Structure 1
Amino acid sequence: MVARIKCSTNIRKPYHYNDNKVREGDACLLAAENMLVQVDTHRDKAVLLLEKQVALRPDVKVNSVHISLNFSPDEQLTNEQMAQIARDYIEGIGFGNQPYLIYRHFDSGHPHCHIVTTNICLNKSRISLHQIGKLKSEPVRKELENKYGLIKAEGQNTKTSTINPFDASKVLYGKVATKQALSKVLNAVIPVYKYGSLAELNAVLGIYNVKAEQGNSGSRIEQNRGLVYRVLDHNGQCKGVPIKASLFSGKPTLLNLEKRFLANDVARSKYKDSLKSKIDIILKFKKCSSLRELQYHLKSQDIRLVPRVNENGIIYGLTYIDLKSKAVFNGSSLGKEYSAKAILERIHLTKIVNPDTGFEKTFPLGKGYPNELSKENNSNVGYERLDEKSALTLLMQYEYAATNVPYEWKKKKKRRKK
């Protein structure tokens, strides 16, 4: 069993987090202890009662306690067993006389429950939260493991080191253990694919319903240049708790990924012209009339086309993934004629459609494109029309090496002696 304690200044946040899970069918209320109201029939009054107790000590800023008790996926616990373990845990850490709510969640691959309570007592005293995890929680957790015969938490983290990277598949949130599923995907993608940026890496991870995030603008994660990995649902929305990059084997942190970006940019350069030729041939002969149709024909060549879509559902970029060579390119990395705006023009598309959501917006061809669509291609300079190229020319193109090789990696020419 693993216990996690989070203390905050707002009792409403943990309450509504769990209550919303219940409304969505992803959780159920196991018990409501020391509450003066019937929580099942007066759900809104429960948080008011907690707030009134918190208001007894307005001078105490940290007054909310949110605890999660996590059990091994191999353990089959009934609701009564889990509720009793939670009661014993709360009693052991000194919160037995406090009002608290116990919720069981079903949105993860392992059984777990959440407890919402406050450290403000009815007599206006305050339960100290200083080092509560080390001094109170850990001894109680180990005692409960022995009492109920639970699988011990120690030594469980070493299991992820034996993961076979070829077992990676789409991560289904709530169906499998999150960290183990993420580890499989990261081991199968990060050392194998040749990506040059975090956006290109995310295009590949998205195939497996995974995303790497640097945190919101101004957040502590972003300021410290951290990185977390999250699971996506079928709509591309983040689900569950993010897991820090440093907790995975191989340490896929932002610092280590940036080292790969430079090496990958050189390694993938020999595949650039081959990929461009395949795209050009499909555009030439398949007469695609929609982005979804273009994706279908590229998929037959083992190429995945991943559109990048903003919050309004408008496509502002494209990423190409060559599954054979494992090379990943943003449209702008291949050239302006492979950017989102240029590709939509080349297939004579007047309706810009997000293939995942079905959102579409009509614009006159050649003008009036939204600003988001022009991020990759701000130039109005025209590209060479595909109709002016012959198939033979495309097939016989010389695959030259990329010119953006870093100066330090270029071979120095020997100076001729005079």
Structure 2
Amino acid sequence: MIAKIGKGSNMYGAILYNQQKVETENGAVLLLNRIPDTVDGRYSVAYFNRCFEPYLSANNKTEKTVRHISLNPDPKDKVSDEQFTEMAQDYMERMGYGNQPYIVFKHTDIDRTHIHIVSTCVGIDGKKIPDDYDHPRSMAICRDLETKYNLHKATEQEQKQANKVFKPVDHKNGDIKSQIASIVRHLPKYYSFSTMGSYNALLSLFNITVEEVRGERNGQAVNGLVYVALDENGNKVSNPFKSSLFGKDAGIAWLQKHFEQAKVKMKTNPARSVLKNTVELAMHTTSNETDFKKQLTEQGINTVVRRNNEGRIYGITFIGHESRSVWNGSALDRNLSANVFNDWWNNGNKPELKTQDNPVSKTNAIDNQPTKDLFEFIPQEHSQNFDMGLFSLLPESQCVDYEEEQFANRMKKKKKGRGL
């Protein structure tokens, strides 16, 4: 089992990410710890968010107050809801969060059922719960849980697969060829994308673009790809590198097979409905492009917009990092096409709110549910002013936080050093 610990400052974004999966029947609430249940057992993002307010508003000086943890058993493990609940309680107790409010969500939208835990590292007294050794403790707990529940042990190779780190190309660091190689040789093995445009959108997150080259050699047609590094503004900053320099997995023949396989796989991918609803919610709760992109980033989704020289939007792509899938807007829904966003952001014509199957009403319709004795869970009231900064499943480099693997590698190096 692999644990990932996300640290951020926007509780609303963390809850929204998980509750959206519940609303689309790709998730469920398994446990509430020190959070009052509602009379009918129904919840909303706003309701959950209010339950954390006393802790967040008591905060003295902690910047990243939110803890967003995922526990990921092997896909072959059959874990019941009761076992997931027990694991979460055991894990949080041993991590020092047993007396904190937290919510345990089960996710079923990808091929491995797993759980997410949303909590805060700030106690009701405003003091931060120490987290200096979070990752080594987390790893030790996971090993114990594997034994206790007879789970498959996470091998070194499986941890590397699950925790692959991709860093954007930095042309100032030199050796651009090696930087590009470390991404294009492996990225297609982890993400599903069905067109060259969606592949390019994914590569753009890592400051790379790929171009198709056609020509003729010795009377025969030649068709290939070249990769070019980009700067932070999307400008080309390197010579083109032939795909053959990076192996067959970076070439056009292999990618075309990937496109066809991804088309079949993505037709039945449950992440599609989750992503669609999340994007629609962002459309109706933001007023401009910057806020729209920020809200989706907080939920592990990148937005790549393509404009022509006149500024017209001719393409929009959404990249879901948890489902590791890349979707053109029109493939999600005709109401999420590039033309719709061009009309909104360039012409000021914001799309009208749907009246049927509306994710906004689903998410916020239960804001004022009566509770079962709120004060049993929250000792005292505080002001409602609390931090609503950026929470993201992704760090600044726009890839997943894989500190557990990095820590394991450091420990191995230390052990080797002792043996010399």
Between 1 and 2, higher relative CO (CA 8 Å, sep ≥ 6) is seen in 2
TM-score normalized by the length of structure 1: 0.43
Task: Compare CA radii of gyration and give the structure with the larger one.
Answer: 1
